[in-house]
Structure 1
Amino acid sequence: MRRAGWVAGAAAAVLLAAAAVTSAVAGDAGDDGAARPPAAGSADAGFARDMAVHHQQAVEMSYLVRDRTRDEEVRRLAYDIAQTQANQRGMLLGWLDLWELPKVSSDPPMTWMGMRADTSRGDGALMPGMATDAEMDRLAALRGKAAEVFYLQLMTDHHRGGVHMAEGCAAQCAVAAEKRLAQGMVDGQRAEIALMAELLAERGARPRR
């Protein structure tokens, strides 16, 4: 219960902080003092697009495991992750709407970080930490402890990739509200990585790398 409360509290803190700055995310002020939204190729837009996709897979994984185990601690963690990341995803897509920018770019994922994702693989793993289509299928086929362990391993990888991306935005994004949201993601997901390592150890397993 203590650990579940810790995760829920961290998730709530991230959401409250994000909600508090939503109204201030229109963009930077130009020389005339008017709000100027980020450019389509900016780090702000690239992070919003890519992290929305990244978060969507985390939500899908979390609902998969929630329906495949009766372990209350894993189910609570999965629910917290799903709710937190679904809300953050909505904010990111909402900002793109506010900025009148497309939600899909012709540039490959991660271009805003100076990286080039290999989109030719066709395995679903478009960005750091993302599970492949085969891994998602395997998770869907597992039940009980096996599903718990594989989910915790996949989500640990997913969070590590998410932290890497969020650190990139915290360093490169220009919109202050988005930078704060990104740092909140870093802090929250690092806490969840530590918790997932404990849950894996309790099940005689450990992160994949």
Structure 2
Amino acid sequence: MRLAGAVAGAAAAVLVAAGAITYAVAGDDGAGRTPSAGSADAGFARDMAVHHQQAVEMSYIVRDRTEDEEVRRLAYDIAQTQANQRGMLLGWLDLWGLPKVSADPPMAWMGMGGTASGEDGALMPGMATDTELEKLRGLDGKRAEVFYLQLMTDHHKGGVHMAEGCAARCTVGVEKRLAQGMVEAQESEIALMADMLEERGARPRP
């Protein structure tokens, strides 16, 4: 119950914040300027939407590979929270009249263009490779739980890095606040997943 309550509380806080931000005006940076296609605001929205989509995918995979209620609850919370946030990010791009796909490499808005190789499908920090996703699909029970928790820990660490970048570089207030909320929620979930791994005799990957 300790873990379940903490996960539910963290997810609820993010969803409440997300709901408030949904109704906020994200049309400009507060000075009447709409973000440009090459801005940190647009880059973060595009890249984090892709990053979030993989987290949703992994969470639905593990939900069908285990009967463990704690893992299934965590996976559901992550899937729902990140699908909601992804919709907001894509909605802001529409509001700004900006494309959802860019010719710039992923993470260029953080000065990391070209450092994310995209090898085997891993386009950005923390993203699982296509091979790892296929492995997750082939596991079940405790093995699926452990591998999911390890993959999602890496995924969250990459997401925190990106969200910290937006909190420092983005100019649209509601987007900066969403990014900071992501940092706090995902760091909390990283700690929870470390506990869950320990309970299963495992640890996060180095």
Give TM class, smaller chain.
Answer: over 0.9
Counterpart for residue 18 of structure 1: 18
Counterpart for residue 179 of structure 1: 176
Runs of 5+ consecutive residues of structure 2 not aligned to the other structure: none
String of CA shifts for 1:113-171, please: whole Å, max 9, x gaps.
Answer: 00024565541100000000000000000000000000000000000000000000000
String of CA shifts for 1:70-104, please: whole Å, max 9, x gaps.
Answer: 00000000000000000000000000000000000
Q: Secondary structure at the match of 2:123?
A: coil
Aligned 1:154-169 pairs, distance under 5 A:
154-169=151-166
How big is the shift at 1:19? 2.0
Q: Which of 179-188 and 114-123 deviates more? A: 114-123
**What TM-score do you get using the length of structure 1 for normalisation?**
0.95
Q: RMSD of the alignment, in Å? A: 1.2
1:28 aligns with 2:25: no
Counterpart for residue 134 of structure 2: 137
User: Quick one: which amino acid aligns to residue 2 of structure 1?
Assistant: R
**What TM-score do you get using the length of structure 2 for normalisation?**
0.96
Q: Distance in 2 between matches of 1:91 and 1:3?
A: 28
User: Quick one: which amino acid aligns to residue 177 of structure 1?
Assistant: V
1:190 aligns with 2:187: yes
Q: Distance in 1 between matches of 2:137 and 2:161?
A: 26
Q: Secondary structure at the match of 2:19?
A: helix
**Matched length:** 205
Percent same amino acid among aligned pairs?
77
Q: Secondary structure at the match of 1:70?
A: coil
Q: Distance in 1 between matches of 2:117 and 2:199?
A: 38
User: Quick one: which amino acid aligns to residue 77 of structure 2?
Assistant: D
How big is the shift at 1:15? 1.8
1:8 aligns with 2:8: yes
Counterpart for residue 49 of structure 1: 46
Aligned 1:22-171 pairs, distance under 5 A:
22=22, 23-30=24-31, 35-117=32-114, 121-171=118-168
Q: Distance in 2 between matches of 1:152 and 1:96?
A: 31
**CA separation of 1:6 and 1:100: change in aligned 2, threshold 3 A:** same
How big is the shift at 1:18? 2.1
Given that residues 125 and 155 in structure 2 are in contact (C-alpha distance below 8 angstroms), is that contact kept between their aligned partners in structure 1? yes
Given that residues 35 and 96 in structure 2 are in contact (C-alpha distance below 8 angstroms), is that contact kept between their aligned partners in structure 1? yes
User: Quick one: which amino acid aligns to residue 104 of structure 1?
Assistant: V
